[in-house]
Chain A
């Protein structure tokens, strides 16, 4: 099935099978997931809550200044210990007055290991940005999408593949949009098609990723059967009130195994945990 056929076919099952074939060839049944503790850039906590077990401490939100950002990175690194500290997203950092190279060097020096999300639809000169970040000895983990419309699906997948072949170093492509309209969210068919398309088109990117918290267990689980092999952003904090069997860790493992796949926990830098 060609990428265009994958977009056009009314047979959603066939589209999913096309994505799954590539996924199986690349990863077999192995399905990675990552528990993330999110830290708001403007309010890093002084201490960790109880029952946190994270593979990544992720600073989120648009920083007001570079100083505020580096302060948040330092405070988070002090909490994180050996666990990688990352910053989300590249687009937010581009709004700072300093160049991305300067920003990347400053947060690296403050204790961050990686940036998380480069939205391919919003970052102009993505290749240059990636090179500048790399020059500061930092990596960008995943290429992502913020906004999606019916007409740019294939173009975005191709752009992601091209960016990887030119700049390299990306571990994952997260093709489902992060921005969701309240009145017109993407549909299940849209999401399945996009995951399958991403897997078929961007085969030079190791993982196709779905955000567990943003998309929810039901859709994320289906995505694992049509091309995705990585679940990002599983909650690191277990409130404990629902009992061990309903902890975030058990829930994600249960969903992966119920899809006849094998769960494998990783950290924020894609190392096994």
Chain B
């Protein structure tokens, strides 16, 4: 084990640390030291003390999924009475509401639904862009892209090319969980994408000129060393391609999941965030996950390396299904940023600053509760769904 003081001195100097050093820091550095080091790295990258956030809406277009990850409380199997697919009109209405609140982007992710072929995504993206030409689509995490390649029998670059032609602007880094196949097998998510496959989709996306984010969900079956392996694989890809805009980590949310267990603690989150800031020295931006940690620890993230409060969000379905239900509207996010001594600025997905808070420029309704994908009891089927060939036996039976 190297001396923590020596490693800390290297971080303070701006040197890159290796995996053994990161492990020593992660396991042995006190909370305050991790905070101090992470804050130094943040200050080097963001000396103007600006903390950014984005107004967007996290829309989950379907909860029907064949992947069946055992940590997921959101999905419903094919044929479930609780399964849904959002209609194009419903998505347009959500976009209208998002624009009303000053937002300019949808974060669009969903289950691996066998009855939504590539053409469904293309038509949706084209329809959105025709109606809202400036609106951004930050859509389809790597496992969703892989799912589409499997259904369409096209390669990853071909699918990305078609989605981009239809209107895809950027790719969210979801579905990474822990990029170690031992862990992915235990989480039953190895099939949806291996670690290499996840990274490969991102590599192709970056080659195609798309910017993407990267995520990590920790606190389930992985070891601390495997968390670091995840971070170092991301650091390597960022060295190679430079296409990641930001890193976001959160703790596994166990409620209502098959895997069960308990959630990692708040301090573990702050330590993990700080280590990520130190290790991922080639990532400019680190988001605070207030959605899983709550507003208070979410704000404390700003002292542990985060420079971004993520999304005002408006709607959330996935972690809510697993027990996290925190909500902050723009006014609340801005209040938290300012009370921590930073200057709040709105941004887009590329982390370009768009301006000051919208609610200071015009009246925006306060939002003290997140919206959901669908009102409870709404089991309507979107009319356009019949235009696309059904693949599952259940959907075929329903249509006949």
- Which residues does A use to contact B, with CB under 8 Å? 10, 12-13, 16-17, 20, 182-192, 216-219, 221-222, 225, 243, 245-246, 251, 254-255, 258-260
Contact = CB atoms under 8 A, between A and B. Distances in A.
B21 interface: no
B262 A192 contact: no
17 contacts: A13-B32, A13-B303, A17-B32, A183-B366, A187-B299, A187-B335, A189-B300, A189-B303, A190-B339, A218-B266, A221-B267, A222-B300, A245-B261, A251-B262, A258-B267, A259-B31, A260-B30
Nearest to A193: B339
A245 B299 CA distance: 29
Q: How large is the interface on B (under 10, 10 to 19, 20 to 34, 35 or more residues)?
A: 20 to 34
Interface string B292-319: 0111111110010000000000000000
Contact of B341 (A10, A217, A225): A10
Nearest to A182: B368
A187 B336 contact: yes
A183 B336 CA distance: 12
Given A218-B294, A225-B31, A258-B267, A188 B262 contact: no
B304 to A, nearest CB: 8
B298 A188 contact: yes
B226 interface: no
Contact of B270 (A10, A20, A222, A251): A222
Interface in B181-229: none
Interface string B354-373: 00000000000010100000
Contact of B340 (A17, A187, A217, A246): A187
Contacts of A186: 296
B173 interface: no
Interface of B: 30-32, 35-36, 39, 260-262, 265-270, 293-300, 303, 332, 335-336, 339-341, 366, 368
Contacts of B261: 245
Contacts of B366: 183
The secondary-structure label for the interface of chain A is helix
Given A13-B39, A13-B303, A187 B266 contact: no
Contacts of A243: 260
Contacts of A10: 341
Given A189-B340, A225-B267, A245-B262, A13 B35 contact: yes
Q: Which 8 A-B pairs have the closest CB atoms?
A: A218-B266, A188-B296, A10-B341, A188-B299, A188-B300, A13-B35, A12-B303, A258-B265
A224 to B, nearest CB: 9
A254 B286 CA distance: 27
